[in-house]
Amino acid sequence: MAATGIVYLVGAGPGDPDLITVKGAKCLQMAELVVYDRLANPALLDLVQPWAEKIYAGKEPQRHRLDQDEINNLLIAEAQKGKTVVRLKGGDPFVFGRGGEECLALAAAHVPFEVVPGISSAMAVPAVVGIPVTHRQVAQTFTVVTGHTADDPFGTNWDDLPRSGTLVILMGVKHLPQIVERLLANGRSPTTPAATIRAGTLPEQEFVVGTLADIADKAQHLPPPAITIVGEVVAVHEQLATLGARFRGHNQAVANYQQLY
């Protein structure tokens, strides 16, 4: 029997293919099999050897998707054949990426693995439109939550979230009106600045800026993937724009500022 191979859980970064790490790119170059997700930029597959196998494990409604057990079993079976396998995931594998579950399954099957962290959209997407998730004297903490479970009583506990600091909401665009309601009920002011950015770091990046009172309306035309940032740090973007800084997709935002201020 061939020696057991290895699985690299690689973070693909937030979208722009240049934002993968050097180590992640090296893993793709030496992979014999790549199992990739929808949010990993397909341009990264150009780094893979032409003879290597590529399997889509994504989550698009029209395409067959592998469920989590199928993915785990595939990674285990292929590594046990002696292969070097890359599991390529959007952003960072451990930020709402089920990377922990995959590591547990690999460890239970005694398959060697290594996590290659990626740049998470949670910080990178705000960054590219000039929103720092922390900013001295403005926000000393940031909290990253999923909005996917907004209507699930066992999901995010919105009442337990901090009332100050920055809130970064992933997977929340569909449920934004309910999320805003919960945040207002939890004590956040309706005048708190907020921004929603879709397809951050990609050429099609778009974003809107407003307040907690109007962000759900302003963002309703933005399809996923999108991130909403709530907190005073959003005003840093405005300061940068006022100083002449320009960001991809900024026209909409500048128009919004003109309405706002």
Ligand X SMILES: C[S@@+](CC[C@H](N)C(=O)[O-])C[C@H]1O[C@@H](n2cnc3c(N)ncnc32)[C@H](O)[C@@H]1O
Residues with catalytic function = 37, 59, 171
Q: How far is the CB of 198 from ligand X (least distance, A)?
A: 6
- Residue 35 or 39: the one with the smaller Cβ distance to ligand X is 39
**What distance separates the 2 farthest-apart alpha carbons in the chain?**
69
Q: How far is the CB of 234 from ligand X (least distance, A)?
A: 15
Query: In this structure, which amino acid lies at residue 210?
Result: G
Of the pair 20, 197, the CB lying nearest ligand X is at: 197
The residues that touch ligand X, with contacts defined as CB under 6 A, are 14-15, 39, 89-92, 95-97, 120-122, 125, 170-171, 197-202, 224-227
By beta-carbon proximity to ligand X, the closer residue of 38 and 135 is 38
Q: Report the residue number, 62 or 258, with the smaller CB distance to ligand X.
A: 62
The minimum distance between CB 203 and ligand X, in angstroms, equals: 11
Least distance CB 222 / ligand X (angstroms): 9
What are the residue ranges of helices labelled H in 14-117?
Answer: 22-30, 68-80, 99-108
Q: Strands, E, within 31-183: which ranges?
A: 33-36, 53-56, 84-89, 113-116, 142-146, 166-170
**67 phi and psi angles, rounded to 5 deg:** -80, 175
Q: Give yes or no for a contact between 5 and 80, defined as CB atoms under 8 angstroms apart.
A: yes
Contacts of 6 by beta carbon, 8 Å cutoff, 6+ apart: 79, 84, 85, 111, 112, 113, 114
Which of residues 85 and 226 has its CB atom nearest to ligand X in the complex? 226
Q: Least Å distance between CB 95 and ligand X?
A: 4
Tokens of 95: 């930020």
d(CA 231, CA 252): 20
The verdict on whether omega for the bond into residue 225 sits within 30 degrees of 0, i.e. cis, is: yes
